[in-house]
Structure 1
C-alpha cells in the first residue's frame, strides 16, 4: 500500500514515537510510507515577552524540537518531510495514495477535505485532544466519516458511545521488548521510585512529586529518579535531592526503569501511557491513576491503581510497595513483566496493517455503492 501519515508536530512525545514505529515497520513489510509534519510556527515578540513575564514554557507549537523523525538519531527507511510553512496541508501537498492517516485533530480537518484519490481516510486516535484545541472542533473531527483506529479501550468506548461510531476499533500500543528489558531482580537496597518528568498539567507529574514527598516523611531514605524530554521548569521544580536525567540515550532508558521498586504514573488524562508498558517490561511495577490504558494494564496485577488527584493515596501505595517482602514484590514484578510480554510491536503492526486494509475495503465499497 501507498500510505501517507500526517502529524501535527514532530517531537519526542510518546504519540510521535508510536507513529515512527508503525511507519518503519510498515515500510519493512514492503509498504510505501510518507510521513508529513507541520513545522513550528514563529512566535511573535509580544508572545515571547508574555511567556517570560509569566515564567511559563514556550508552547510546543512555537518552538523547534528534536523528534523521532530525525534520521541521524532515529534511523528510518520511510520518507519524511515538513510542509513548507506552518499552515494546514492541502491536497497539493500530498501524493495520491491508498491510505491517508490523520493523527491529530487538526490533521483530521485537513484530511477530511482531500479528494478520494489521496487514499482511504483513517483517523488514528491516541487521545481525546480537547486539552489542545477548542472542544467543539475536536469533537467535530470525531464525527467525520473516517475509519477510526484507537490505541486504548476508553477511546473505542468514547467513539462508539459519545459519537455513535460502531466501526471504531482497538489496536493497542506495544513495547519494544528488546530495548526495554531487565533480568529478574529483587527490591532495591535503597527504596526507589521513578517518574517521567513533564510540566504539561494533564501528565500529573506534580501529583507524583507530592506523593513522593509525603512518603519520604515516613521513609527518609526513599529515593526518586526522573527522566524527561524537557528540562525542569520553574513552574514545576524538582523535589530536593532527586536524580534527574535530560533525554538519556534510548539505550539507557531501561536502566532508569530498572533501578526502581515502582514507577509513578499520576496522569489526569492520557491516551495510552507508554511508560506503563516500558517500566513493566523492565520488571518494575507501576503505581498509576486510572488514565489511558492503566486500568487494563495495571489491573492485571503488575502494580497498584490509585484514585485521580490523590497524592496521599499514591504515597500510601509507595509505602505499601516499600514494605513488601521480597517474595511479594517479586510476584508483582513478574506479573508486570508478563503483562508487557503480551504487547509487542510485531503483533500490533499486524493489527494496524489489517485495520488499514479494512479501511480501504470500506472506502471501495462506498465508491462502488
Structure 2
C-alpha cells in the first residue's frame, strides 16, 4: 500500500513476511522436519528506490496511526483495499490500483468482489481490467494507466554498439520457464516441440524463477537455461531470440512482452493481459489461447521471414515501446490522481 503526496513525495506501508502458523509448525514436526524458522529478510523492490517506507511489525489491521496524512492513499491488492477503506479521510482520497482481477481460486472471491464495489477511484493497468470495472461493477470513471519498461535496462546490446541486429544464425525462440500453471509454460513447450519438427535446428533459450522445479526435465535437450537470471541479464536472453513466447493463461498486464520488444524481439503471445493491445501494431503475432499448434505456426512464420522482413517486425516492436515512455505513464498516473481528487471534491460538496 502506498501513500502519495502531490508534492511528489511517496510513503509506502507494507506488511511483514508471513510467519509459519501453528498448524504448519505441527505438520513440520510430524514430518520430522523440525520447528520452522521465521522467514529471513528478503530483497525488496524498494531497496534501491529513494522512497520512505515502513513495514508494520505484525500482520495486523492497518490503522490511522500507521500512516501519515496524505492527498492520496492507494491500495494495490484486495486485502489492502479492505484496510484502506477503513482509514479516515485525513489519510487521503482513496484510489484502487487494479493490477489484476484478483478473484483467484485461493482467495475469498466474495471479499475480492466487494472491494471492486468500494467507492474508490479505480486505476487499471490494462484495458480488460478497466472493462471489468465498468461492465461488471458499474464504475464508469476508470483511469487506464498501462505500465512501461525502463529502456536503460531493457535494450539490444548490439544496438548500443551500433551494430544493427538481424535474425539469429540459428533460428531461436525464448520463453520464461516456471511451474506456475497460469503462466502456460506447458503451452510454450508443446508449441516449440511441434515447430521443431519442421525447423530441425530450432533452438530454445529460457530463464526461470530460481529453481528447476518438477518440469525441468521437459525442457528440450540443448536448451540454454538460466534458472536464476539477474535483472541485468534478462536483456541478453531477449536479444538472443528471433521471437519471444508469451504463453500465459492469465495476466494482469504482461510486462515480459514490453521487455522483449524493448530489446527488439517480436513476441508471439496468447491474448492474456495487455497482449491484444501491445501486439496489434505488428510487433509480434497474437495466437489463440490454449492452442500450442497455433503458437507453433507463428514460430514457423517468424522463422521463415527474410532478414529484411524480420528487421521490420523488430523495428515495429521497438516503436511500440518508444511510443509510450515512462514520462507518458507518469503523466497518465498524475492525471488519474487529479481525477480522483476532483471526484472526491464533487462527492463532498454534494453531501
Fold match by TM threshold 0.5: yes
Aligned residues of 2:276 and 2:286 also touching (Cα < 8 A):
yes
Alignment partners' CA distance in 2, 1:335 and 1:32: 36
Q: CA deviation at 1:236?
A: 5.8
Counterpart selection for 1:239 from 200, 219, 243: 219
Q: How does 1:89-238 map to 2 (within 5 A)?
A: 89-131=62-104, 132-182=106-156, 183=159, 184-234=164-214, 237-238=217-218
Alignment partners' CA distance in 2, 1:239 and 1:50: 33
Alignment-derived partner of residue 281 in structure 2: 300
Matched, 1:315 2:303: no
Structure number with larger C-alpha Rg: 2
Q: CA deviation at 1:217?
A: 2.6
Alignment partners' CA distance in 1, 2:303 and 2:22: 50
Q: CA deviation at 1:251?
A: 2.6
Matched, 1:279 2:240: no
Matched, 1:331 2:312: yes
Question: For 1:155, what is the secondary structure of its paired residue?
Answer: helix
Aligned residues of 2:179 and 2:214 also touching (Cα < 8 A):
no
Aligned residues of 1:122 and 1:359 also touching (Cα < 8 A):
yes
Alignment partners' CA distance in 1, 2:7 and 2:71: 14
Alignment-derived partner of residue 34 in structure 1: 11
Q: CA deviation at 1:211?
A: 1.3
Task: Sort the Cα spacing of 1:299 and 1:237 in 2 relative to 1 into closer, same or farther, 3 A.
Answer: farther
Alignment-derived partner of residue 66 in structure 1: 43
Aligned residues: 335
Alignment partners' CA distance in 2, 1:344 and 1:123: 23
CA-to-aligned-CA distance 1:99-118 (integer Å, 9 cap, x gap):
10011111111111111111
Alignment-derived partner of residue 331 in structure 2: 350
Q: Which stretches in structure 1 are left out of the alignment for 5+ residues?
A: 7-22, 54-61
Using the TM superposition, name which of 88-97 and 146-155 deviates more. 88-97
Alignment partners' CA distance in 2, 1:133 and 1:242: 36
Alignment partners' CA distance in 1, 2:11 and 2:256: 27
Using the TM superposition, name which of 324-333 and 145-154 deviates more. 324-333
Alignment partners' CA distance in 1, 2:25 and 2:311: 50
Alignment partners' CA distance in 2, 1:209 and 1:49: 39
Q: How does 1:252-271 map to 2 (within 5 A)?
A: 252-271=233-252
Alignment partners' CA distance in 2, 1:338 and 1:306: 21
Question: For 1:130, what is the secondary structure of its paired residue?
Answer: coil
Task: Sort the Cα spacing of 1:125 and 1:243 in 2 relative to 1 into closer, same or farther, 3 A.
Answer: same
CA-to-aligned-CA distance 1:206-231 (integer Å, 9 cap, x gap):
21122112222332322111123332
Task: Sort the Cα spacing of 1:357 and 1:318 in 2 relative to 1 into closer, same or farther, 3 A.
Answer: same
Q: CA deviation at 1:35?
A: 1.3
Aligned residues of 2:127 and 2:274 also touching (Cα < 8 A):
yes
Task: Sort the Cα spacing of 1:244 and 1:236 in 2 relative to 1 into closer, same or farther, 3 A.
Answer: closer
CA-to-aligned-CA distance 1:286-338 (integer Å, 9 cap, x gap):
00001111001111101111111111111121121112111221121111111
RMSD: 2.5
Using the TM superposition, name which of 98-107 and 172-181 deviates more. 172-181
TM-score, structure 1 normalization? 0.84
Using the TM superposition, name which of 317-326 and 139-148 deviates more. 317-326
Question: For 2:314, what is the secondary structure of its paired residue?
Answer: helix
Q: Which stretches in structure 2 are left out of the alignment for 5+ residues?
A: 31-38
Q: CA deviation at 1:64?
A: 6.2
Task: Sort the Cα spacing of 1:129 and 1:68 in 2 relative to 1 into closer, same or farther, 3 A.
Answer: same
Question: For 2:256, what is the secondary structure of its paired residue?
Answer: helix
Counterpart selection for 2:58 from 69, 85, 89: 85
Question: For 2:257, what is the secondary structure of its paired residue?
Answer: helix
Aligned residues of 1:175 and 1:343 also touching (Cα < 8 A):
no
Task: Sort the Cα spacing of 1:322 and 1:39 in 2 relative to 1 into closer, same or farther, 3 A.
Answer: same
Task: Sort the Cα spacing of 1:333 and 1:308 in 2 relative to 1 into closer, same or farther, 3 A.
Answer: same
Using the TM superposition, name which of 145-154 and 358-367 deviates more. 358-367
